[in-house]
Amino acid sequence: MKKHRSIVVLAVALLTAIVALGQQPGVGRAVVPPSQTVVSIEGTRFLIDGRLTSSGKPAEGQLLNTRMAQAIFDDENPATVGNWAYPDTHIWDPQRNTNEFLAMVPTYAQHGIRMITVGLQGGCPAHTPPALTCPGGDHPWIVSAFNPDGSLKPAWMTRLGQVIQAADASGIVVMVQFFYHGQEGKVLDQFAAVNNITDWLVNGGYRNVLVETVNECNAGFSTYLDCSNEANVVKQVQDRSGGKLKVSVSFTGGGMPSDDVISQEDLVLLHGNGQTTQQLVDLINGLKGKTAYQANPKPIVVNEDSTSLDNMNASVAAGVSWGYLDTGVNNYVGGYQSPPVNWAINTDAKQAFFDNALALAGPNSVATATTYTGSTTADYHDPAALSAHLQDLQGTPLPGVPLSFALGSQSCTGLTNAAGIAACAITPSVAAGTYPLTVSFAGTPLLQASGASASFVVTREETAVAYTGDTTVAQGATAHLVAALREDGQAAIPGRAVTFTLGSGAAAQTCAAATDAGGSAACSIAGLNQPLGPGTVTAVFGGDTFYKPASATAATMIFAFLTAGGFVIADQPATPGTTVTFWSSRWASLNSPSGGSAPSSFKGFAGAVPTLGCGSDWSSRPGDSAAPPVALPTYMAVIVTSTVSKSGSSVGGNTASMVIVRTNGGYAPDPGHAGTGTVIGVVCP
């Protein structure tokens, strides 16, 4: 029955070939970025991107590989799909299977893997005897990227595209295996299927792909796919692709390819299943000794063997690429061929293989991409939050590696987290302006270097000036002016000039000083000459290329001491806002010192004031005999006393405090013309 069906299929294929060589029905062009990984052949060795693979390593020019036939696996038979259920969800999920595989591709590359084999009809998925085994003949499960008419199944092609692109980003070649025994019989138009998948690969622009038309063509295939016709199938793919695809076919473990196949294919596939190390070496040597091979030497690839590291080492020593086959069992733990597959390097056998691959081939460094994601502006002296994202070209974050940021001569380093993001801070120490900011990943033996840059704008730092100097100053005295200059009102700014101005206009008096280490600037204006009364003092920092300008203004009060003597008021009350009488024939009745009543003979003027300021005593003669001034300043210092007493012809008292009085009109040196005013400030204490 199978033979009859095969004849029908072959007839259909031949008729189709006669009618047209155009593209067969199937899935449309795959839209992908240009390949970054380009595989080519030079004699008996492989090159990737024009360079020998694993240069300087034992596996130079080889494609160390692993059989990952189930990377895009699915089973469309409802009666059998439950065999592959995940232990946690109890269902089979083909996209989860592919996603978990994709996540491991960079790791495989980092361990020296240069090729993976992926099956469009999988491989034998059942390895849990006695319940799950692969029977001879047709398999009950439906595992195929092809519809019966040879057209392509979109979901399978989506997953295949994902695998090829992930491999491309990691410098890995994908050997696409078209047919697998036990499944090929479900495709009635195999000729069309070959054309359709060939077109799909070519139209996708994939250049990191090799083709295995059939897995073990001597395992019982249709006439069309049998080894006796495989030279024609290989040529069909070569011609259909215009030579863009390099094509081969495999035989069972220990099987020797026929001369016609060797002559036609671009590389020779051997399987080492069931072979001792010596048998594998003999098989390789036997192939190299064949006339067909010697006439046109080409790369030899073992893309299916076992977990034997002895076979691996012997193959590499013979200049032959070697492929790991770890069937495992259907337990989501061991192996790479028994769904649900755990694609991690999670068993001793897997770890031993990948360690050996790394030693033989060296790391296949993964291309990376760095993207700057942090701040692009900051004030001078304010921390700038810098961050960047590191991933491979498939978008997989790369954690645990350092990224270096540089702004001028300043730098910082951050370690990428689980999301591939690194962060650190730089406090700009350069003048305001636009500067290049760079972030770089230096690379590791397993990851290629990458970097990014951005324009970073440093702006002038905000500043604040706080005036803390004199605000009440006597005419003719020295004004001590002090101000503090700080960043945002916090950190001190040393070494900057602050200019102080008392008054305004033509009467303005100025001085300047540089801030000290504490941000304080101080200078003095001697011989103050300002209009009496309210005024202002300003402290100005003009700014520079690092700092914004700032200023502070404080209210001042300029007053005058009498040239001789001084007027007196009692301490009850003598607070700002109080109207007081400091000169009058009725002074004693209008002022109430807290120390007791004043003698009536005192009219308010102290002729003898030995020291201007608080704490000293004063004295005077009674009445106006002390010769008070003819005129009064508009803002005048007045003594505040708590005691007034008379001793003989002298009156005296203390200076408890001193206030500023804004004087009113009507004063005359005659006590009958009272001197009055309002307390508007305090001189001391």
Q: What's the CA gap between 247 and 140, in Å, rounded?
A: 29
Bridge partners (DSSP) of residue 379 are 459
Give the up-direction half-sphere exposure of residue 552: CA atoms within 13 A in the CB hemisphere.
20
Which CATH number is correct for 2-361, 2.40.30.30, 1.20.1110.10, 3.90.480.20, 3.20.20.80?
3.20.20.80
Q: What's the CA gap between 518 and 540, in Å, rounded?
A: 17
Read off the tokens for 462: 């905000």
Nearest to 441 by CA among 397, 408, 410: 397
Q: What's the CA gap between 319 and 366, in Å, rounded?
A: 25
Torsion of CA 412, 413, 417, 423, to 10 degrees: 10
Over range 474-499, report the average pLDDT. Answer: 95
Over range 534-563, report the average pLDDT. Answer: 96
Which CATH number is correct for 368-459, 2.60.40.10, 3.40.50.1970, 3.40.50.2300, 3.40.630.30?
2.60.40.10
pLDDT band, residue 33 (cuts 50/70/90)? low
Read off the tokens for 263: 């002559």
Per residue in 80-137, pLDDT tens? 999 999 999 999 999 999 999 999 999 999 899 999 999 999 999 998 888 788 887 8
Q: What's the CA gap between 638 and 605, in Å, rounded?
A: 10
Nearest to 357 by CA among 677, 635, 115: 115
Q: What's the CA gap between 219 and 200, in Å, rounded?
A: 27
Whole-angstrom Cα Rg for the chain: 49
| Weakest-pLDDT range from 413-422, 433-442, 594-603 | 594-603
Percentage with pLDDT > 90 across the chain: 84
Read off the tokens for 447: 């990851």
Where b means 16+ CB within 10 Å and e means fewer, 575-589 reads: eeeeebbbbbbebbe
Percentage with pLDDT > 70 across the chain: 94
Over range 656-675, report the average pLDDT. Answer: 95
> Per mean pLDDT, which of 2-11, 31-40, 491-500 is the most reliable?
491-500
CB within 8 Å of 596: residues ≥ 6 apart:
643, 645
Judge contact between 588 and 602, C-beta under 8 A. Answer: yes
pLDDT score at 16: 35
pLDDT score at 20: 34
Q: What's the CA gap between 502 and 509, in Å, rounded?
A: 5
User: Reduced to 3 states, what is the DSSP secondary structure of residue 37?
Assistant: coil
* pLDDT score of 29 more than 60: no
Judge contact between 471 and 482, C-beta under 8 A. Answer: no
Q: What's the CA gap between 353 and 346, in Å, rounded?
A: 11
Locate the DSSP E strands across 560-665. 566-570, 579-583, 605-606, 617-620, 635-641, 644-647, 650-654, 657-663
Which residue is it, tokens 């024609």? 232
Q: What's the CA gap between 240 and 20, in Å, rounded?
A: 12
Per residue in 606-639, pLDDT tens? 988 887 788 889 999 876 677 899 999 999 999 9
Q: What's the CA gap between 381 and 430, in Å, rounded?
A: 9
Q: What's the CA gap between 2 and 92, in Å, rounded?
A: 31
Judge contact between 625 and 667, C-beta under 8 A. Answer: no
Per the prediction, the chain carries an average pLDDT of 92
Question: Is the Cα dihedral 39, 42, 46, 47 positive or negative?
Answer: negative
Read off the tokens for 194: 């070959």
Q: Where are the domains of the chain?
A: 2-361, 368-459, 463-559, 566-684
DSSP type of residue 132: B
Q: What kind of architecture, by CATH, is found in domain 463-559? A: Sandwich (2.60)
Bridge partners (DSSP) of residue 386 are 424
Over range 241-269, report the average pLDDT. Answer: 97
- How many angstroms from the chain centroid is the CA of residue 590? 79
Nearest to 264 by CA among 293, 303, 304: 293
User: Reduced to 3 states, what is the DSSP secondary structure of residue 595?
Assistant: coil
CB within 8 Å of 647: residues ≥ 6 apart:
none
Q: Between 420 and 616, name the one with better pLDDT.
A: 420
2-361 and 368-459: identical CATH topology: no
* pLDDT score of 589 more than 90: yes
User: Reduced to 3 states, what is the DSSP secondary structure of residue 159?
Assistant: helix
* pLDDT score of 472 more than 70: yes
- pTM of the full structure: 0.58
pLDDT score at 476: 94
Over range 303-322, report the average pLDDT. Answer: 97
